[in-house]
Amino acid sequence: MNMEDDEGHDGFAAEKTVTPALLALHPFSKFVVVSVGSQLRVFNLLEKCAVDSEDINSQSCHVDAIKTITFSKDGGLFASAGDDKHVKLWDTDTWRCLRTVVATKKISASSFSSDGKWLLYADKFGVVYAISTEYVKDPLAGPADPGQPVSLLAHCCSIITSLKCSADGRYIITADRDFKIRISIFPKNPLMGAHEIEGFCLGHTSFVSCVAVVNNNLTSQFLVSGGGDGTVRLWEVETATLLDTVDVYEKITIANSDVDNTAVQLPAITCIAVSNNASLVAVGLESLDGVIILGLDIKSKRLRFLQKFLLEDHYCPTSIQFDRNGWLWLVAGAAQRTEAGEEKATSWVKVVSISSGDAILLESIDPASLPGGTLLLEALDGTDSDVKKALALADAANMAVKEQLSKKKYTNEHRELRKRLRNDKKLQKGM
């Protein structure tokens, strides 16, 4: 077994070029952004028109699949990064690209610090970097250039699937493929690195696919996570304590006895979002054409399964987010790079309102009621009218992500065969 071949591939499946579509909402609902493949589609919700800045549409925007998009807490900044190893920092007033940082590896997650002064991003080898958002390139800057990315912390060679900063600015939360969520202390001076760990949230029995911080005004910080084990978990951040677990897959298979319970691999949670009032958690589940709503009670520190809602045939959301009005924005879609190097990208945005009274009700919001109406959907969904293809692609994207995050399971026979084929074994035979 050539160790060099394993470099960076340890168990990862061969990379499929299907990337899920992502959605990001401006914290004050000024903009909504959808990324599909290498394209960024921005819509101004106040002025009800698509944003057409030179940088967004230029050829030199991202050149490969975007894997992470995020707004800063005050909405003034936006970041996008992905497979082209470029981290782009955007000004949301003008939608000009302020800076492009060239990273050494593909980026898998990103987050602004709660004060907006730093942009953190994580690569597929588990290293988290920080760059200052205030730094403006100075041609006379000396070697100790504060604008250069600084390595903050690292998960031992594990893809970081989600990176978040707690709202109070005290913690950095990183989730990885090796079932862990690490809570690190946000350093006073990020340029020196983040060397102190507060705790590890251990409990998931498979890769952690997504994490969301709960907005609440209490001193205690909470987060919810979804994993490849089909569970959603509630954690207290400072103590890294598991407060509650909901086995989503189990809940819906009990309800639907037609589903094959003997599936070897559990369906993974694909995306997660928490409502602003911290009372609801929405998750997407692999192969589920809809969304699952859970109830969150911070006071009693409990999470409970409320209901599964089917949306439309084959509509598997790849990214979801609540806005301040309690509407849930979803996007299902993906981009696929063909062998010829062309990119086929499709996405479909839906908005639903969820009311929790005695019963949970989910209502689809008519496009006419959305700010910008059909103009909004056209801008975000693009002009590909083959909707069914879009949806099939979305499901494929979720599966591809899962395959990349799951550990390769070799059978005993396979492993024995590989051992026999190893170079040093061959040498021994010669002796």
Where along the sequence are the contacts to other proteins (CB under 8 A)?
Answer: 1, 3, 6-7, 10-11, 125, 127, 151, 153-154, 156-158, 178-180, 184, 187-189, 192-197, 199-200, 202-203, 205, 238-243, 407-408, 410, 415, 424
Comparing CA positions, the residue from 63, 114, 62 lying closest to residue 88 is 62
- Rounded distance between C-alpha atoms, residue 136 and residue 218, angstroms: 36
Nearer to other proteins among residue 245 and residue 276 (C-beta) = 245
- Closest contact distance (angstroms) between CB of 412 and other proteins is 9
Q: Are 70 and 112 in contact (CB under 8 A)?
A: yes
Instruction: Give the number of other Cβ atoms within 10 Å of residue 121's Cβ.
Output: 26
Residues in Cβ contact with 168 at an 8 Å cutoff, skipping those fewer than 6 apart: 114, 219, 221
Nearer to other proteins among residue 241 and residue 355 (C-beta) = 241
Residue 6: phi and psi, rounded to 5, are -80, -10
- Closest contact distance (angstroms) between CB of 218 and other proteins is 17
Nearer to other proteins among residue 187 and residue 382 (C-beta) = 187
- Sign of dihedral through CA atoms 420, 423, 428, 430? positive
Nearer to other proteins among residue 242 and residue 278 (C-beta) = 242
- Closest contact distance (angstroms) between CB of 274 and other proteins is 21
- Closest contact distance (angstroms) between CB of 417 and other proteins is 14
- Closest contact distance (angstroms) between CB of 148 and other proteins is 17
Name the DSSP letter for residue 186.
P
- Closest contact distance (angstroms) between CB of 315 and other proteins is 31
Distances (CA, A) of 358 to 26, 302, 329, 353, 364: 31, 18, 23, 16, 19
Nearer to other proteins among residue 361 and residue 417 (C-beta) = 417
- Rounded distance between C-alpha atoms, residue 321 and residue 409, angstroms: 33
Comparing CA positions, the residue from 119, 90, 85 lying closest to residue 102 is 85
- Rounded distance between C-alpha atoms, residue 347 and residue 124, angstroms: 25
Nearer to other proteins among residue 241 and residue 369 (C-beta) = 241
Nearer to other proteins among residue 157 and residue 365 (C-beta) = 157
**CA distance between the termini of the chain:** 19
- Closest contact distance (angstroms) between CB of 12 and other proteins is 9
